[in-house]
Amino acid sequence: MNSELIDRIVALIKREVVPAIGCTEPVAVALCVAKATELLDREPEKISLSLSGNIIKNAMGVGIPGTGMIGLPIAVALGAVVGKSEYGLEVLRDVDSDALEIAKKFVAEERIVITHKKDAPSNLYIEVEVEAGSHKAMAVISGAHTNFIFLSKDDDVLLRKDVESDTSCCDSDPELTEAMVYDFAVNAPLDKISFILEAGLMNREAARMALYNDKDYGHSLGKVIRNQGLRIFGDTPIRHMLSMTSAACDARMGGAKVPVMSNSGSGNQGITATMPVMCYAEDIEASEEQLTRALALSSLTSIYIKQSLGRLSALCGCVVASTGASAGIVLLMGGGYNEVCAAIKNMVANLTGMICDGAKPSCAMKITSGVSTALMSALLAMNGKCVTSQEGIICDDIDTTVHNLTSIGREAMTETDHLVLDIMVNK
């Protein structure tokens, strides 16, 4: 692999693996509101939002950091009151008690109007218009959580782009294959990829916040597995992996004001791609280089799958990220490319079809399903066992298998997505 390709892949990972505070869908909405408010240059009297169904679905039931509240209205208000667009997905970093009280009043005064844009050009689409007196400003995010495609103030258009796709790709990205992903993770110069350790360390701190804090976040699944799970699982790698991974999700979905390192626009995917690998590496006393390369393989495999799946879909993101984690675990177990491919096929054979019914505290349970399957798939692969091309959607070619998974999530599950949203908004 030449140095130019290595640098392009490094740039891709650095773009897709970034810190985020809170669930990325309501945070992206807050980011869009913050940008529009900055353009307006005064406090909005009215905020009108037009959102794609997936944004609404993923923002309905999740805690907003530092508020003790759930849902879009408070995220929107905080974006206007205290949000800074320069922070990106950490836009709500400056939330404090004073800002929260102002935002609550903002909501109570019914300044916020939210509508579902059924004909949105992307599954990830956020359109915000803010008004004050005779002035107005607009900001639009589409395709990716921080990708502004339109900005205007009054009658002046400040930005207009035609980027409306909901895939994770941009023109400068290399066209990945799993062989390329593996080659990069195993052979790239260590100093080029050592930055990936920060992702694991940041997400480990989020897990520790939930585990070693008197406050309970979400459903406290991480604490339950760590404590009551000791009798069932013992002091074993599987218990460590399940507890730490679900705890980080507990904190994030429960509204803890703690950053996590996201992957492809999702904090939960970032957590799932890193924490099982971190925990297993610690249990086997892996070297820093082994951990670094395993994290790179896990993270880049997740990015590769998301490139063809799209940012948001009816397929739960834990399927993608835990598939990456399984590949990383195989590497830590001493497996090579053939074993990595086998683990990925085992994952696709098992978890394909798990629905996404929005971001919420119970995501921690889906994540633990993905993590336990990741370890099982890795163990099978290391014992020469792989689901064959005679079974289901698995093909001999690994990349075809991956694209079978993403085609189902992106195309076949579209009606599932519509029905899930309909159930959620009408119950």
pLDDT at 58: 87
User: What percent of the chain has pLDDT above 90?
Assistant: 84
380 pLDDT tier (thresholds 50, 70, 90): very high
pLDDT at 168: 47
For range 179-187, the mean pLDDT: 98
Mind listing the pLDDT tens digit for each residue in 408-422?
A: 999 999 899 999 999
- Alpha-carbon distance of 247 to 196, in angstroms, equals 21
Mind listing the pLDDT tens digit for each residue in 315-370?
A: 999 999 999 999 999 999 999 999 999 999 999 999 999 999 988 999 999 999 99
- Alpha-carbon distance of 382 to 333, in angstroms, equals 8
pLDDT at 233: 94
Task: Check residues 100 and 61 and name the one with the higher pLDDT.
Answer: 100
Nearest to 30 by CA among 69, 77, 66: 77
Mind listing the pLDDT tens digit for each residue in 80-110?
A: 999 999 999 999 999 999 999 999 999 999 9
Instruction: Find all residues with CB under 8 Å of 140, minimum gap 6, and list them.
Output: 32, 125, 126, 127, 128, 148, 149, 150, 151
252 pLDDT tier (thresholds 50, 70, 90): very high
pLDDT at 310: 86
Instruction: Find all residues with CB under 8 Å of 77, minimum gap 6, and list them.
Output: 102, 103, 104, 106, 107, 111, 112
In the chain the first and final C-alpha atoms are separated, in Å, by 53
60 with 427: CB under 8 angstroms? no
pLDDT at 170: 61
pLDDT at 7: 95
Mind listing the pLDDT tens digit for each residue in 315-328?
A: 999 999 999 999 99
Q: What is the mean pLDDT of the chain?
A: 94
Mind listing the pLDDT tens digit for each residue in 127-176?
A: 999 999 999 999 999 988 999 999 999 999 999 997 655 444 466 789 99
Q: Which two tokens stand for residue 77?
A: 């208000």
Of 15-19, 122-126, 285-289, 406-410, highest mean pLDDT: 285-289
